[in-house]
Amino acid sequence: MAEYKAPITDMQFVLYDVFKADRLWSQWKSLADLVERDTADAILEEAGKLATNLLAPINRSGDEEGVKWSEGKVTTPEGFKGAHHTYAEGGWVGLTGNPEYGGMGMPKMLSVQVEEMGYSANNSFMLYQTLSSGACLAIDKHATEELKTTYLEKIYSGEWAGSMCLTEPHAGTDLGIIRTKAEPQPDGSYLVTGTKIFITGGEHDLTDNIIHLVLAKLPDAPAGSKGISLFLVPKIMVNEDGSLGERNAVHCGSIEHKMGIKASSTCVMNFDGAKGYLVGEVNRGLVCMFTMMNYERLSIGIQGLGCSEMSYQKALSYAKERLQGKTIINGKRSDHIADPIIGHPDVRRMLLNMKAMTEAGRAFSTYVAMQLDTAKYATDETTRENAEKLVALLTPITKAFFTDIGLDNCVLGQQVYGGHGYIREWGQEQLVRDVRIAQIYEGTNGIQALDLMGRKVVHNKGEFFNCFADEVKTFISNEKSNPDLAEYIEPLERALNNLVVLTAWIIEQSANDVNEVGAASVEYLHVFGYTAYSYMWALMARTVLENKAEGDFLQSKLLTANYFNKRLLPRVYGLTEAIRAGCGPLYTFSEEHF
């Protein structure tokens, strides 16, 4: 079975050569003293070692053993607790955390690479860590100074963990109908009562305390989502001196028995008058929670990307070693008894699909992270505002497109293995099971598509979309006279023009029939995703050609870009035709017709 090898060379290419991350960091005053290339490279190298030597070896055993629940307590698989302590000691939970409270303050452009390595090596393990990092974001941005001082440092250090408690048995996407209540107390705290389900890391034995961020409603709250508040509810109460006190009235009622991510505890959490503290303003809980949710959506997108990378590595290794059938070279059959299956056309197709989509995804994750960093660190207000619009536009694409493609790529990797891909010991079937959830949680991909189409495109009449389209148009205009780049610019220009016209068409159609938004949304997200990937490949091709780079690694970039544009990008035109069929074929069905 192939071992995971962190793709650090590719990450460095995207970071420094394509997006000039080290130059950006030096320009942003608040980052200039924290990170430069040598520091970033050391972080990448160490993260690669952790993923390969610490996390990957306990991935399959963690899947086989799973988590165990007994009388409200959850035990993680053998090796997970020790791995968490090693991970925590390195400061990885607080990699992007606020330095004022013990975080490392690293940029998002760097942390997305670290998360990808972790998800490639061990999905279940990384979920505990990213939930904690996300909880810290919400606390840091919205909580009182007292709460930040009490909780952030301990979560950054990995001594405590964080969780996000939204979903209830009757309320998933529609959070406006949650029933969890918060009763105000004379001392300014609240007693939180209700049941939450599907809570990742709601209970486990990795840390001494778990800090739950819980959505609940006050007794006099307005109906719907406008009446939701956010509360910090610790598993163990914290004394004034920072030591742990009594157990709070929050318990794990059970754990879910799942298709995948079996070493990650997915819990039913019961809050029985548990003491909690308001985060942010009353009835503004969703605004606060979205700080964490948007981080988690990007992180779950990275889960899809990490699984794609691992699937590709495994499949490539197997395809080079597995002897089966004779290949055809220059029109003649090989004279060997059998050849490696990488010579067969369908295997080559699957591997190249995986390679092209994964490498473009890595570039796109770095591009989105660059927008997050720009919105946070840039000094020019217009630049920050533009980046914020791009983040809003691209977050649902990152979550949904990465994870849709992630499942596709894991299935392709399994297919390369043939019958062995269906057998547990080879590891490919675990990737298929583990990545499947990524399309479902943190807002299903259908919801992400609705968010993109409805809120981020139609609602503002293409304002956010134009930020992206104008950037790509400028790139095309600047590079159109470069003959060496023509084979990468021309397909990009055609795809972008298609996307621009399609976007305007949907906005126009939706003015007459709101159902057009939902009918177009999923296919539109994929048209956007493939077009954005073409932009990424054009950027990478330009980088290689400008540097007159040689060597297999860089020449492979040009060949892969060419493959993407000719074999994968044309998918957008079939999807476009489906969208232009309109909502009629979808809505002419009555319930009796199903």
Question: What positions carry a catalytic annotation?
Answer: 442
Query: How far apart (Å, rounded) are the C-alpha atoms in residues 1 and 103?
Result: 37
**Amino acid at site 426:** W
- 515-546 and 381-416 helices cross at what angle (nearest 10)? 90
β-pairing, 209-216 vs 160-165, is parallel
Whole-angstrom distance, CA of residue 444 vs CA of residue 522: 11
Instruction: Report residue 103 CA to chain centroid gap.
Output: 21
Q: Retrieve residue 561's tokens.
A: 């870009």
Alpha carbons within 13 angstroms on the beta-carbon side of residue 334 total 14
Q: List 251's β-bridge partners, or say none.
A: 270
Contact at 8 Å (CB) between 289 and 215? yes
Q: Which residue has the tokens 């754990």?
A: 255
> What residues are paired with 247 via a beta bridge?
236
Say if CB 407 and CB 260 are below 8 A apart: no
- Note every long-range contact of 81-85, with CB atoms under 8 Å and residues 24 or more positions apart, other chains counting: 81/205, 81/206, 83/54, 83/55, 83/58, 83/125, 84/125, 84/128, 84/129, 84/158, 84/206, 84/207, 85/158
The token pair at 184 is 């105000």
Residue 244 vs residues 91, 93, 150, 213, 214: alpha-carbon distances, Å? 22, 21, 11, 18, 20
Tokens of residue 301, six digits = 């997108």
**Exposure of 228 by Cβ count < 10 A (0-12 exposed, 13-18 middle, 19+ buried)?**
buried
- Residue pair 231/192 in contact (Cβ under 8 Å)? The answer is yes
Which phi and psi (to 5°) does residue 254 adopt? Answer: -175, 175
As a whole number of Å, the CA-based R_g of the chain is: 24
Residue 263 amino acid letter: A
Contact 396, 449 (CB under 8 A): yes
- Round to whole Å and give the CA distance between 489 and 438: 32
Whole-number Å distance between alpha carbons of 297 and 400 = 9
How far lies 273's CA from each of 110, 229, 233, 480, 512, in Å? 41, 16, 10, 64, 49
Is the CB of residue 216 less than 8 Å from the CB of residue 232?
no
